Amino acid sequence: MSLFLIAALPFIGAVFPALLVRAGRTASASAAGTVTLIALIGLLLNAPAVFRGETVTARIDWLPGLGLNANFFLDGLGFLFAGLILGIGLLIIIYARFYLSRQDPMGQFYAYLLLFQGAMVGIVLSDNILLLLVFWELTSLSSFLLIGYWRHLPEGRQGARMALAVTGGGGLALIAGMLILGNIAGSYDLSVILTQKELVQSSPLYLPALILILLGAFTKSAQFPFHFWLPHAMAAPTPVSAYLHSATMVKAGLFLMARLWPVLAGTEAWFYLVATTGLVTMVIAAVIAFFKDDLKALLAFSTVSHLGMITMLLGFGTEYAAVAAVFHILNHATFKAALFMTAGIVDHEAGTRDAKLLGGLRRLMPVTFVIATVASLSMAGIPPLNGFLSKEMMLEQALHTHLFLHPLMVAVVATLAAAFSAAYSFRYVAHVFLGPVRDDYPSHPHDPPAGMWLPPAFLATLVVLIGLFPMLFAGGIVETAANAVTGGHAPHVHLKLWHGLNAALLLSAIAVAGGLLLLSGHGGLNRAWLAAPRPEAKAIYDAAIARLTRLSAAVTDALHDGSLTRYAAIFVVFTLALAGYGYATGAIGLPTRTALPMHWLLVAGWICLVGSALAIVVFHRNRLLSLVLIGVTGLMVSMTFNYLSAPDLALTQISVEVVTIILLLLALNFMPRETPRESSSGRRLRDLVISIGAGAGTGGLIYALMLRDFAFPSISGFHLANSYKGGGGDNVVNVILVDFRGFDTFGEIIVLGIAAIVIYAITEAILGSRVRARLLNRKPDAPLAGDSHPLMMVVITRVMMPIALMVGAYIFFRGHNAPGGGFIAGLIVAIAVIMQYMASGYEWATARQRYPFHGIIGSGVLVAAVTGIGAWFNEKPFLTSDFGYLYPPGLEKIEWATAMFFDLGVFLAVLGAVTLALESLARYAWQPHRDQLHAMDINPARDDALHDGTEG
């Protein structure tokens, strides 16, 4: 099965449980389980190739210019993790079906679970670090949904927020580190990066990249000092805890360290950062776990401890330690997932998971007792179970590792952690299942249905089989995965129970004996632990978050006071500061061009342009005068475009100017004639200084650019050279809009249509609200004219209508080879239509409207989309145009181009959007205006009839 399909199946399958929620809990679980099973089967179909030492790949060049490719690869390490994710995921799906109550939305749970599953599979299969980062962040988001699944519980919401904050913050560091790593290696593909060990480790950026990447891995795998979030995530339902915190999410950081081991390991920085962090985490979490009464909290801290152990092994940097780390990843997933599920069973059936309220469950829950005992003894490192094998390998490596020049420090501390690990494992069995039966359980304990105990029983069986026959059940996958971790240099390790009497076995025996001794003195030790002062990570986290929140609120309140001028001032000053720094520290060459001679007419136009802009600033409180001055500015800009040989821009500018003026006139109809004075003299002086600086800087930059040639070529050369042979048109601007950057244009017409529909929806809502009464009672600033529709204007606009339509058609058809096109033509026709509204009135124009403007917008977008899709049938990318020639008899050849149909879509979308927006505002103004005419004894209907020639 393709790796793309394996990675995509969980995401696709996440839809089905949500859709089948009405069909029952079993249907939702069956859908989720079927999808996971198919993905697992697809993974297993690639097993023969992986075990032969081959790497299965799947590649798609997505954005090669940015180094972002949708590349996947499957080797031994990816196979191990993907197998754990999908295999344990299938067991969790079965377990959750019987664990969750009828009040829990089952479809939602399985949808979240499959989203998380897909993100984790994406991480372990990604061959591109940018793609890996996408999946990495998806795990944080989907785990947030799973941890906060019981959102009615405050602790669930807090645990979800804490997990997202810590892992999300680490994810930001990881993004930076990965980008640095890819930049050093010259590629963002992992298959390339893993071959660049010497180049990466000799780079001066190696240490920053290493620290940032390890921050991402440590936060995800809850390493000290980021260990505190994992226990608080235990507020999630037990299936979530069993899945995320034993086999998947917390293993993501370990996977990242193992995946990058060939290129990052082997340095002193790696050894001291990774091994020390793992060792400290291992012992601190083991001690804390021993004193926890909540079963899930005990298991959570034990998870942190074992994650620290694996981190420490990876940090040692030796091939043998890497094999031990891989083996313990497999072993830990089996016994810890089983333990979490048994803790859930106890909580589900006994009504509590507080060890102080339990005991004696061995007789009441014999099946659960056997499963929990096997898994706990494996966690304690008792032979002949699988946990013993990897623990002995860890102790062997600890004996041969010197930390801070001390030959026994690692071995002693690791043995101490193993002793506490044995102690909390024994305590889990002794304080929950052994002892006399009590009569004060919150609920009557009994073994659950088979659907709840079969999944952990399967894992417990694996614990025994791997322990008894390690080479048969784990040797192949461990060796294959270890070879992937070490770059093919993993030593052949014959996994077996008995290695003879050696130092590692002695340390293991000491740890077991120490665990029994600690368990016997738990009561006194626990009282001393509770009485001893110690820092609480959660309290420190809460205090830090509270301080950051207050600081953020203070900064936000200081900067964001609702004043747009303040925002603009901050933005412009910051930009000026950056520009000033660049100017002061940069270098600019001497001018290579000479200025063109200036004609007096150009100087006059420039004076008009600058004068109108300045006048707008001076007289901006007079809204109508400002509008006139804006029109003058737009006209001068249009003339400037035309002078600079840009007739298309000139036509567009003048057309947009007319539409904008009409739109603003309609809007000003509902606003006071003058704006109030709001700014103080000091603020106006400040704004004047800032604006002069920004204007002078922008003008100086433009002037400097126009007088100099640059080394890089302009993209205009490509467009000029390929306009005709690539798009079939001589008008380069139009060819860019409908071909080279047609997708941009397609998005723009969609946005334009959405904006017009939003304007229509807002005016519709206002006319049906209390605002309508205010409009009816509004008094105009000046008396209305008695003749609302002057006859001369009515006649002129009706005569001009067919002429304007003909001009629009002419502009449209010539646009591919001469100035014009669908956008300009749409504006011209829209202006002609709006003039009918202005001259003859809203009622008269609306009565003669044959086609709804909404439909015109939709038709335009549809025509443009169909034209773009047509390129697929020619085996070309979306919106690629084609052109050719027709030779009608007796006539010259006629050029045709598919771009004309796309331009037709642009024409319709622009026409519909502009007319809908302006018609909406006109409708907004019409009813109050009509009532005012009635108050003045003017009959608009009679007036319209006179203009129409139907009366008199």
pLDDT in tens, 721-735: 888 877 788 888 888
Query: Of the ranges 211-215, 424-428, 925-929, which one carries the lowest mean pLDDT score?
Result: 925-929
pLDDT above 60: residue 941? no
The DSSP string of 369-404 is HHHHHHHHHHHHT-TTSHHHHHHHHHHHHHHT--BT
pLDDT in tens, 251-310: 899 999 999 999 999 899 999 999 999 999 999 999 999 999 989 999 999 999 999 999
pLDDT above 70: residue 771? no
pLDDT above 70: residue 946? no
pLDDT above 50: residue 797? yes
pLDDT above 70: residue 861? yes
Higher pLDDT, 195 or 663: 195
Residue partners of 818: CB distance under 8 A and separation at least 6: 730, 731
Q: What is the mean pLDDT of residues 331-360?
A: 91
pLDDT in tens, 633-666: 888 888 888 888 888 888 888 888 888 888 888 7
The answer to whether 275 touches 403, Cβ cutoff 8 Å, is yes
Q: What is the mean pLDDT of residues 879-886?
A: 78
CA dist 711 and 449 (Å) reads 75
Single-letter residue type at 15: V
Q: What is the mean pLDDT of residues 348-366?
A: 89
Higher pLDDT, 566 or 747: 747
pLDDT above 90: residue 622? no
pLDDT above 90: residue 212? yes
Higher pLDDT, 374 or 563: 374
861 burial level (CB within 10 Å; 0-12, 13-18, 19+): buried
Q: What is the mean pLDDT of residues 923-948?
A: 49
pLDDT above 50: residue 936? no
Q: In the block, which residue shows the tokens 């820092």?
A: 535
Higher pLDDT, 338 or 792: 338
* Side-chain half-sphere exposure of 790, counting CA atoms within 13 A: 7
Q: In the block, which residue shows the tokens 């100099």?
A: 708
> Above pLDDT 90, what percent of the chain?
33
pLDDT above 80: residue 668? no
The answer to whether 478 touches 333, Cβ cutoff 8 Å, is no
pLDDT computed for residue 133 by the predictor: 93
Element (H, E) at 467: helix 450-468
Query: Of the ranges 206-215, 315-324, 470-479, which one carries the lowest mean pLDDT score?
Result: 470-479
pLDDT above 60: residue 776? no
Please give the C-alpha separations between residue 683 and each of 677, 688, 944, in angstroms, as whole numbers: 12, 8, 51
Higher pLDDT, 881 or 335: 335
Band of residue 713 on the pLDDT scale cut at 50, 70, 90 = confident
Band of residue 226 on the pLDDT scale cut at 50, 70, 90 = confident
pLDDT computed for residue 337 by the predictor: 92
The answer to whether 151 touches 162, Cβ cutoff 8 Å, is no
Band of residue 942 on the pLDDT scale cut at 50, 70, 90 = very low
Query: Of the ranges 234-243, 333-342, 582-591, 858-867, which one carries the lowest mean pLDDT score?
Result: 582-591
pLDDT in tens, 138-187: 999 998 999 988 888 888 888 888 888 899 999 999 999 999 999 999 88
* Structure tokens given for 816: 């591919």
What SS3 class is residue 886? strand
Instruction: Kindly report the pTM of this predicted structure.
Output: 0.73
pLDDT in tens, 821-851: 888 999 899 888 888 888 887 778 878 878 8
pLDDT above 70: residue 947? no
Q: What is the mean pLDDT of residues 104-126?
A: 91
pLDDT computed for residue 729 by the predictor: 81
Residue partners of 114: CB distance under 8 A and separation at least 6: 10, 11, 13, 14, 17, 32, 35, 36
pLDDT in tens, 604-620: 888 988 898 889 888 88
Higher pLDDT, 663 or 865: 865
Buried b (16+ CB within 10 A) or exposed e, 862-897: ebbbebbebbeeeeeeebbbebeeeeeeeeeeeeeb
pLDDT in tens, 31-49: 999 999 999 999 999 999 9
Instruction: Give me the chain's average pLDDT, please.
Output: 85
Write down the H helix ranges in 221-357.
229-232, 238-244, 249-259, 261-264, 268-270, 276-290, 295-316, 319-350
Whose CA is closest to 678, among 841, 518, 836, 563?
A: 563
pLDDT in tens, 568-605: 888 899 999 988 888 888 777 788 888 888 888 888 88
CA dist 833 and 865 (Å) reads 26
The DSSP string of 271-282 is IIIIIHHHHHHH
